[in-house]
Amino acid sequence: MDTRRHFLKGVVAGGAAITSAAVAPPACARETHSRPAEALGLLYDATLCIGCKACVAACKEANNNPPEFSTEDRLWDTPLDTSGYTFNIIKMYRNGTMQTKDAEVNGFAFMKTSCMHCADPSCVSACPVSAMTKDPATGIVAYDPGACVGCRYCVVACPFGIPKYQYDSPTGKIGKCELCRHRYADGHYSACAEVCPTGATLYGRSADLLLEAKRRIALKPGSVTRYPRGKIGGPDQSYEGPVGNYLQHVYGEKEFGGTQVLKLSAVTFAKVGMPDLPPKSSAATSETLQHSLYGGLVMPVVVLGALSFIAKRNVHDEDDESGTDKDKGEK
Ligand code: SF4
Ligand code: SF4
Ligand code: SF4
């Protein structure tokens, strides 16, 4: 028993010493990655959204996803949240009498939920087999079901709760928006933006979308402006409409290191379900820590070697002490 106690004491003391040495501030913390220059994305403007959910139906069709039912009649596709088979959903904020659109008090508002295509995605960083990858040119975060081992690290890592596991699938894969990259070869783009009647969901280069978002929030509420529809820089489908009472905040410009999907709203983002995130991505933080601890596999080898040495020494010390007592007893 004493031997085991000495062993554990040595392990704890040795582990603490090694750990405190190893977690000293890393010499070179990894910077948060930025969006590629030609990054593609979406701009969702909640003040233009009428909640028609044409984008939800178009997303289902474009991705060949089955309907999901939340009503007993099972007549319509009525998902309540994103899932392994629902990559895009429009949620509704409600308050009090719900009289006024885009009012926080006694109002209602809409918010789109789909992959944000983060500049520095934690799903990519967490995936141990590179089934989640970020395209260096377009920045699209893509998923490869052939490489996926179903560990669901990406599900846990995403701060937006986006990757979802297909529990009923025999192969158990992940489902998430890939910005409709499979449609580009035929001259199409994101189905949700193609179908949106008001331009509330707009597709394009993230840099152009950010400029458009900043143009909108600089306008006077109630004035009239032109809103593009479909694809920014594509065929002109623009129309004139009143300017909403925007928050002075482009969600996704800075959050979590920046995202390629950007959002505008008149209702506080936290109230419409968007998380309050710091400007640094968690991928940068976790990779810095991992690389500090495990760089070149030095850390595990050092820890194992040191712990073995301490354990052996304590066991020897104990044997020596026992031997002395025994000798004494024999005398
Ligand atoms: S299609 Fe456009 S207007 Fe309709 S719910 Fe989707 S984002 Fe809103
Ligand atoms: S929103 Fe989530 S799933 Fe999409 S890129 Fe960012 S971390 Fe990955
Ligand atoms: S880009 Fe495509 S997959 Fe992503 S939300 Fe829009 S329609 Fe769905």
pLDDT in tens, 210-261: 999 999 999 999 999 999 999 999 999 999 999 999 999 999 999 999 999 9
Q: What's the 274 CA to ligand 2 centre distance in angstroms?
A: 13
Q: Which residue has the higher pLDDT, 15 or 269?
A: 269
Structure confidence at residue 29 as a pLDDT band (50, 70, 90) = confident
Q: Taking Cα atoms as reference points, which of 19, 309, 252 lies closest to residue 119?
A: 252
d(CA 246, CA 268): 10
Residue 26 has pLDDT above 90, yes or no: no
The ligand with the least distance to the CA atom of 114 is 3
How high is the pLDDT of residue 170?
84
d(CA 5, CA 173): 46
**Which residues have C-beta atoms less than 6 Å from ligand 2?**
115-118, 121-123, 141, 158, 160, 162-163, 176
The ligand with the least distance to the CA atom of 178 is 3
Cross-strand bridge partners of residue 132: 143
How high is the pLDDT of residue 6?
45
DSSP β-ladder status, 40-45 and 201-205:
antiparallel
Q: How many CA atoms lie within 13 A of 15 on its CB side?
A: 7
Q: What's the 114 CA to ligand 2 centre distance in angstroms?
A: 9
**How do the domains of the chain map onto residue ranges?**
2-30+287-322, 40-277
User: For the chain, what is the mean pLDDT?
Assistant: 85
CATH class of the domain whose range is 40-277: alpha beta
Residue 278 has pLDDT above 90, yes or no: yes
Q: Reduced to 3 states, what is the DSSP secondary structure of residue 242?
A: strand
Q: Around Cβ 268, how many Cβ atoms within 10 Å?
A: 14
How high is the pLDDT of residue 294?
52
How high is the pLDDT of residue 289?
58
Residue 165 has pLDDT above 60, yes or no: yes
Q: How many CA atoms lie within 13 A of 122 on its CB side?
A: 25
How high is the pLDDT of residue 169?
84
